[in-house]
Amino acid sequence: MKGVIAAFAAVLAVAAAFSLPGTAGAAVPCWKQVQNDWYLHGRVVKHYKLACYLTAIKKLPADVATYGGATESIRKAYLAEKKRLAKLHKKKR
């Protein structure tokens, strides 16, 4: 269990490093932004394009996907965003 916690802490540290502003030409892909959002908050709090959520799930490191609960959390955020977008689309009609 301590090994899992240490690995998770290391992943958080890497995610925090990626979330820092970089050079203008080094844009962070949206799927990585979803992952970083989850790493920082334990859930996804911002809104992203739907494809970004799905790609973020596919690209999760195996240990985070298995032990961190990221897959379920990101999937839940994806479904909530899909519902939110459908509601907005319905309002515009």
More confident residue, 12 or 52: 52
How high is the mean pLDDT of the chain? 83
pLDDT for residue 41: 96
Q: What is the dihedral of CA 42, 76, 54, 45, to 10 degrees?
A: -40
53-81: average pLDDT = 95
Residue labelled with tokens 């844009």: 27
The pTM of this model reads 0.71
Mean of pLDDT values over 30-37: 98
Predicted pLDDT at 91: 86
Residue 23 in contact with residue 55, Cβ under 8 Å?
no
Cβ–Cβ under 8 Å, residues 88 and 53: no
19 band by pLDDT with thresholds 50, 70 and 90: low
